[in-house]
Each structure stands twice: as C-alpha cells, then as structure tokens.
Amino acid sequence: MTSIVSLSKAIARGFVRDRTAVFFTVLFPLMFLLLFGGIFKDQTAPKSEVIQVGAVSLLDDMPADAKTGLSDILELTRADDRAAALEQVRKGDVDAMVEQSGGTIVLHYSAADQVTAGTVNGLFSSLVNAGNLAAAGVTAPAFTLQGQQVEDESLGTIQYVTPGLLGWAIATGATFGAAMTLVTWRHKKLLRRLRLAPINVGSVLAARVGVSIVIALVQMAIFLGVAVLPYFGLVLSDSWWMSIPLVLVGTLAFLSIGLLAGSFAKTPEAANVIANLVVLPMAFLSGAFFPLDNAPGWLQAVGNALPLKHLVDGMQAVMVRGESPGAVLPQLGILAAFAVVTSAIAALLFRWDDV
Amino acid sequence: MTSTIVVNNIAKQYGDVRAVDGVSFEVEEGEFFGILGPNGAGKTTTLEIIEGLREANSGTVSVFGQSPWPRNQALLPRIGVQLQASSFFELLTAREQIHTFASLYGVSGKAADEMLERVGLADKAGTRTEKLSGGQAQRLSIACALVHNPDLVFLDEPTSGLDPQARRNLWDLLRDINDQGRTVVLTTHYLDEAEQLCDRVSIMDSGRILQSGPPATLVRGLDAPTRISIESGTLAEAQARELFGDAEVSDDGVSLTIATRTPAPVLAALAERGALAGLSVAGATLEDVFLKLTGREYRA
C-alpha cells in the first residue's frame, strides 16, 4: 500500500510540474469552453435584420404593441437607396430587403445562407398571413400555434458544449497520461528498475489509474465550476451526479487506449504522436465539439465504436437533458466493456523493455 | 556454505546472435567481482540474467541459493541494482527520487536522507534530477540502489561517460560500499577501472569468458616484459643495446624504451650512469592480457 501511495505521489508530482501536460489536459480544453460558451452565449434568439425601402403598409400600419413584439425577432431599418440596400443583402450584411408594389410584398434575400433565408422567409410569410386574416376580419382564428422548447428554457450553447468539451479533456488527460508513463518509463528503463523492487506489478498500475482518476475529477470540477458561473449559465439537471461514475469508467477506457498506444510506441515522441492521432479524430467523431446528427451514417457508426461518444452522450443525458440516472446504464456498460477488452489486448502486448 | 552467486554454463541467444555462450563463474560473499570486455561482449546480458530480468536459454543461475527467474520477490530486497543514470521518475528532485525508491522497499525517509548524504548529494537534495551533472546523477542512482541496504549490489558500467575527476570520486564510493562487507558485481569496459577496484575479474568477449582471476595474477601470468623509459638522448640507443643485450630497445625521439624481463639490473645500470632523467617504469596491464587472449587491440 505504501508503494502505491509513493508511486502515486511521484506520478502526480511529475504531472503537476509538467507545464505542457497541465496546459493540454486542463487549460487548453477550458479555453475552448470559454470561447464556445462566450461566443455563442447570446445566440439563442438571433434577430433577422431587414431593410425596408419605401412604404410597406403591412409593417407601417401595424398596431404599436404588435410592433414592439416584432422588434424582439426583427430588426427593421428604413432606407431610400434601393440599389444600395440590395447590395447589402448580396454581401450578407443584412438578411433581406423588403418593399411593396400594390398588393405584393417583395422580399429580396440571399440564398448564400440558407438558414437565414429560411428564417426571414418564414417570418414574412407569417406576417403576410396574419395581415390577410386581419384584412378578412378574422379576430379569433380557428387554430393557433404555440412553440414550446422541451428542455429547460434557459438551454443555451453552454449546455451542449460542456459535456462534449469535458469528455474531450478527460480523454486527452487519461490517454496521454497512460501512454506517456508507459513509454517514458520503459524508455528510461525505470520499468525495469521497478521490476527489480519488491512490489506488485499491480501497484504500478493502481498508482497510474488512481492519479488519472483524480485528474479527471479535478477536470470535471473545474469545468462544471466555470460553466455554472452566471456569465455562462450552465444549469445542471437533477441527476448530474450520475456523470461521476461515467467519468470514472470513461477514464478507465481512455487509460486502456493509452496503454495500447504505449505498447506500439518506442519513444515518448512516438507515443505523443500516436495518442494525438487517436484522441483528436475521436473527439470530432464523438460529437465532442459539434453534433454529428447530420453526418453520414458510416461516420456515425465509427463514432459509436469509440468510447468518447458514449461518455459524451451519457453526460449530456444526465447533466443537461434531465434524464433519469438509470438512463445511462447502457453507456456505463459499453465504456466498461471497452476498457476491459482494450486493457486485455494491451496486457498481451505489454513489454518491460525496448528490446 | 555456497557462493553468493553461482552461474553455471548459461547461454542466451537473440535471433542468430549468441549474446551469452556458455558462461560460468562464482562470486564469493564480500567479493568485488568485475565482468569486463568491450561493448557487445555480453556483459550486460549476463548481468540481466543473474538479476532475474531475463531468462537464460540454458544453464542455471543461483543467487543466495535461489533462482532469480521467474521474478523472485524473496530475492529482490537483498539485491540492489543500479541501472543507468537516467532511470528516474521525471521532474522529481533528488530527495524525492530516493524517498520514492526507499518506500518501495519499506525503508524510512530518514535512512534515505542519510544515504543521500553518504553519496555527497545532501546539498543537491532539492535539485531536480534533470539538472544534476553526469557524476551527480550516477551517484544518486547508486544511492537509490543502496537505499535498502542490500547484501549484493550490481553496477552496470557505473562510470561510463564521466570525466576523470568524477570517475575517481565514484571509485572511492564503490570501494567504500565493498568495504562494508557487501558483495559487488560490476561490469565495465574500462580495464583500468577493473584493475583498480576488483578483487577478481572475468574477461569476456563474444559471449564467452576468456579468463578469470585477480587482475594482478592475470597480468603476472602474461610474463610480459617491464617497460623502462627514460628521456631520449640521456643514453645513446646503440649503447643501450650493448648494455642490455637480452632487452628490446627502441627510441622514438622522445623516449628511449627498454623492454626487459629483468628490470632490476637494468635500473641499477641506468642509475650507475646517472641516466635516470624522465624515468618511468610500466608493467603489463589488463590491456596486454586482452591483447594476448584475443589477438587484437582492446577497444572499448
């Protein structure tokens, strides 16, 4: 037991004093959280910017309270120079230009940004419909539509990026930690030195696993601590604590990847490259940075074979989607199975020595 | 009582290379034993088989009467192994390194600090190992090998890459370790080091032991001539030939060298003539032994 403690201390000191390692496992992912959380903070209700040229009775004759309500989603400016206004639409500076000729409302938009075009088209078509109903004297329409978001109403970008970026950070920390320890110690013949000490091989493994788990939990505490700040506004669901077992099992899965990478690499430099080649593509394929819903099926299938995908899915479910603790049992099982299988392969390939 | 180490006809093959090819020797308790030979002679592989890091293809090894292979946890606390100077935990200070190793053996931190002091690194305790000089790192790695007070110490080329001053400091430390009654097994490719330190040596080349014995005995066994040199011009070469008929005389313009098997009369004759300027007398060395055994110059 004392040997596990002293080996853990040695590994932990080595990690904390390695500025590069601390930067890439904690500060670098945190920077992305600050960036994503900050940049897209106010993007939940984007306004459509439209220039009105000449008189448009539909807008001009609108009652004052309707105008105020409209200003939440539509930023209307008036201009006289039609050509200049059209040029602005072409350049993408504004979303559309609107004018009226007789009973026809003409909306000029650019198809370059299809989402913006769709939004502004939908907006004006509903305005025209409402105007037609009013003109026909309908005051109480037969059907009304009320949109209601299923998630917590405070749902912002931060809710999506926190589990993804945290998963990426944990994957980086554990994979690199295991690969670098294994390869550096073997390369420096420290593994042989430990083999000549009267300790169990399990103690060496236990120390590395223990330190990685502590690092992962610290990463989690820092990420959640920053994300729940009012500025970023992360709101945790009731069973968010269920992400702790997810992080623990996930860390084991990434450690096993690191051990496997470490069995192939001869030098610390090579281990670094291999770990990078694994972690970064895995982060993209697992939806850690952006959702993969629109990705081709085969790409999603690749993602499903990677542990990070299941960690991110699981954490999103219990952290922000408000699912019950039991909902992530499949993810826990998949991560555990991945860790067991990969560790077994790594154990088969394990070498004490370079030669 | 059996010897501390008994190696019986061990062999180890890597592919087509016979790294160790039928090596046998014994090391007695308290002995300072050296395995020497050029790089690639099979010294390190032999040592690794005795330490229990590798399995021999054939032959037997017994250390304190037990087999070191497979990994024998009962044996490990009794042996200390110094690997290379770089076998440290990354980014730890000298003190943290030795404390970590001490705790693996269940040794107190106080004993670890004392060991650090004994190898003269007390003032470097707070220095990270990456910042230590080559000699300091070697001394720390020896301290880490000795921290649990082992009866048997293995040192694999402890002075390679050190400057002459650091080498001499380390020799003093190694003698000190042996004087405390520990058995020391050392590999080296420096013949002078083996001559200085070892009670007994085995000369290895191409996986085989060519000869074993105390360095002085090996050298004496050569029956090589003693080389007496004086400053060139002190005595004419022709005169020297005339005086010392059975000796080989040569003059390279710097020194006049007389190689003789009977140095006493030669020295007396030189003294009589007052021709002793720049006198040096050199006997054969282990290098000559190696030359005679292999028929080629010794090159480390």
Return the ∠ at Cα A193 (arms to B147 and B143), rounded to 5°.
25
Residues A216 and A252 grouped into a single domain? yes
Q: Which of B73, B86, B99 sits opposite A198 (nearest CB)?
A: B73
Residue B26, class by beta-carbon neighbours within 10 Å (0-12 exposed, 13-18 middle, 19+ buried)? middle
**Contact criterion met (CB < 8 Å) for B104 and A199:** yes
| ipTM of model | 0.83
Domain ranges within chain B, ordered by starting residue = 3-214, 226-283
Pairing label, strands A48-53, A96-101: parallel
Residues A71 and A37 grouped into a single domain? no
A268 found inside a domain? yes
Between CA A126 and CA A261 the distance in angstroms is 57
Q: Which neighbouring-strand residues pair with B25?
A: B7
Residues A182 and A111 grouped into a single domain? no
Return the ∠ at Cα A84 (arms to A83 and A90), rounded to 5°.
90
pLDDT at position B300 is 57
Residues A87 and A201 grouped into a single domain? no
Q: Is B26 on the interface with A (CB under 8 A)?
A: no
| Alpha helices by DSSP H, B7-108 | 43-51, 94-104
Q: Which of A6, A18, A196 sits opposite B100 (nearest CB)?
A: A6
Amino acid present at B26:
E
Pairing label, strands B226-231, B280-282: antiparallel
Between CA B137 and CA A281 the distance in angstroms is 41
* Overall residue count recorded for chain B in this entry: 300
3 state SS of B278: coil
Q: Is B210 on the interface with A (CB under 8 A)?
A: no
A266 found inside a domain? yes
A200 found inside a domain? yes
3 state SS of B95: helix
Residues A65 and A183 grouped into a single domain? no
Give the torsion sign (CA, B88, B93, B97, B103): negative
A299, A285 in Cβ contact below 8 A?
A: yes
Q: Which of B132, B143, B193, B138 is nearest to B168 (CA)?
A: B193
Any idea which fold B3-214 has?
Rossmann fold (3.40.50)
The chain B residue lying nearest A6, using CA atoms, is B100
Q: Which of B77, B87, B91 sits opposite A193 (nearest CB)?
A: B87
A151 found inside a domain? no
Amino acid present at A262:
G
- Distances in Å between the alpha carbon of B133 and those of B120, B140, B185? 13, 10, 25
Return the ∠ at Cα B133 (arms to B127 and B138), rounded to 5°.
95
pLDDT (tens, 9 = 90+) of chain A, 355 residues, equals: 788 999 999 999 999 999 999 999 999 999 999 888 877 766 555 678 889 998 888 888 877 777 777 777 788 888 888 888 889 888 888 888 998 888 888 889 888 878 788 888 888 888 888 888 888 887 777 776 665 555 544 456 788 889 999 999 999 999 999 999 999 999 998 998 999 999 988 899 999 999 999 999 999 999 999 999 988 888 899 999 999 999 999 999 999 999 999 988 989 999 999 999 999 999 999 988 888 888 888 999 999 999 999 999 999 999 988 899 999 999 999 999 999 999 999 989 888 887 6
Q: Structural domain tally of chain A? A: 2
A235, A320 in Cβ contact below 8 A?
A: yes
**Half-sphere exposure of A169 toward its Cβ, with a 13 Å CA cutoff?**
29
Helix (H) or strand (E) holding B11: strand B5-14
Amino acid present at B250:
S
Helix (H) or strand (E) holding B229: strand B226-231
**Contact criterion met (CB < 8 Å) for A198 and B76:** yes
3 state SS of B79: strand
Pairing label, strands B32-36, B183-188: parallel
Residues A265 and A168 grouped into a single domain? yes
**Contact criterion met (CB < 8 Å) for B103 and A192:** no
Count each helix (H run) and each strand (E run) in chain B, helices first.
10, 13
Residues A273 and A320 grouped into a single domain? yes
Amino acid present at B218:
L
Residues A301 and A197 grouped into a single domain? yes
Q: Is B90 on the interface with A (CB under 8 A)?
A: yes
A7 found inside a domain? yes
pLDDT at position A155 is 53
Q: Is B92 on the interface with A (CB under 8 A)?
A: yes
Amino acid present at B56:
A
Q: Which neighbouring-strand residues pair with A97?
A: A51, A108
The tens digit of pLDDT for each residue in A73-126 reads 788 888 888 888 889 888 888 888 998 888 888 889 888 878 788 888 888 888
pLDDT at position A54 is 87
For chain A, the first-to-last Cα distance in angstroms comes to 31
Q: Which of B192, B266, B254 is nearest to B228 (CA)?
A: B266
Q: Is B51 on the interface with A (CB under 8 A)?
A: yes
The CATH number assigned to the domain holding A60 equals: 3.40.190.10
Residue A300, class by beta-carbon neighbours within 10 Å (0-12 exposed, 13-18 middle, 19+ buried)? middle
Q: Which of A2, A3, A10 sits opposite B89 (nearest CB)?
A: A10
Residues A117 and A170 grouped into a single domain? no
B33, B200 in Cβ contact below 8 A?
A: yes
* Overall residue count recorded for chain A in this entry: 355
**Contact criterion met (CB < 8 Å) for B87 and A14:** no
Q: Is B77 on the interface with A (CB under 8 A)?
A: yes
Residues A117 and A198 grouped into a single domain? no
Between CA A197 and CA B150 the distance in angstroms is 11
Residues A76 and A197 grouped into a single domain? no
Q: Which of A9, A198, A352 sits opposite B77 (nearest CB)?
A: A198
Between CA B241 and CA B109 the distance in angstroms is 68
Sheet of A104-109: strands edge to edge?
A: A74-79, A48-53, A96-101, A104-109
pLDDT at position A145 is 64
Residue B111, class by beta-carbon neighbours within 10 Å (0-12 exposed, 13-18 middle, 19+ buried)? middle
Residue A115 domain boundaries = 48-135
The chain B residue lying nearest A187, using CA atoms, is B87
Residues A102 and A37 grouped into a single domain? no
- Give, as one character, the DSSP assignment of residue A139: S
Q: What is the mean pLDDT of each run of 10 residues along chain B (300 residues)?
A: 89 92 94 90 92 94 94 93 82 95 94 91 93 90 92 90 84 91 91 90 92 90 86 86 85 88 88 87 84 74
Between CA A303 and CA A76 the distance in angstroms is 44
For chain B, the first-to-last Cα distance in angstroms comes to 37
For A339, the token pair is 């860790």
Between CA A4 and CA A156 the distance in angstroms is 43
A251, A213 in Cβ contact below 8 A?
A: yes
In angstroms, the separation between the Cα of residue B47 and the nearest Cα of chain A is 13
Between CA A289 and CA B246 the distance in angstroms is 91
Helix (H) or strand (E) holding A120: helix A114-135
